[in-house]
Amino acid sequence: MPRVKRGTTRTDSRKKVLKLAKGYFLTKSKLHRAAQEAVEKALRYGYVGRKLKKRSYRSLWIVRIGASCRMNGISYSRFMDGLKKAGIELNRKVLADIAVNDATSFGQLVGKAKAALGLS
């Protein structure tokens, strides 16, 4: 079996890991094995965190919409049902922005939702 020399391949791979581990505490930024474990864990946390961020923003939007709905005398779920029945297709991000920045427009949306539900 021929002899394999891994000079640059191995060095490049290790440099890549140590570069990603820059700023980590003690051996996690100096020694390859500790750095590799720390980097793998950090990348896993990053992946999960990107998913959690979407979830937490959606819940924030729902809280903001719900608070504005309560101020206009309707529950969040009835408001969303009324919008669907009225044929208004706005996502929660846009609705939350309207609720925070433009109360009069949001009041009109609530009025249309109530009318679609027959609450007026």
| Domains within the chain, CATH numbers bracketed | 9-117 (1.10.1900.20)
- Cβ contacts of 77 within 8 Å, gap of 6 or more: none
Please tell me the distance from the alpha carbon of residue 28 to that of residue 36, in angstroms, as a whole number: 8
Instruction: HSE, CB side, 13 Å, CA atoms: give it for residue 81.
Output: 9
How would residue 33 be classed by pLDDT, with cut points 50, 70 and 90?
Answer: very high
Contact 103, 67 (CB under 8 A): no
pLDDT, one tens digit per residue, over 57-92 is: 999 999 999 999 999 999 999 999 999 999 999 999
Nearest CA to 109 among 72, 77, 75?
72
pLDDT, one tens digit per residue, over 41-55 is: 999 999 999 999 999
Model pTM score: 0.78
Average pLDDT of the residues of the chain:
95
pLDDT at 31: 97
pLDDT at 28: 97
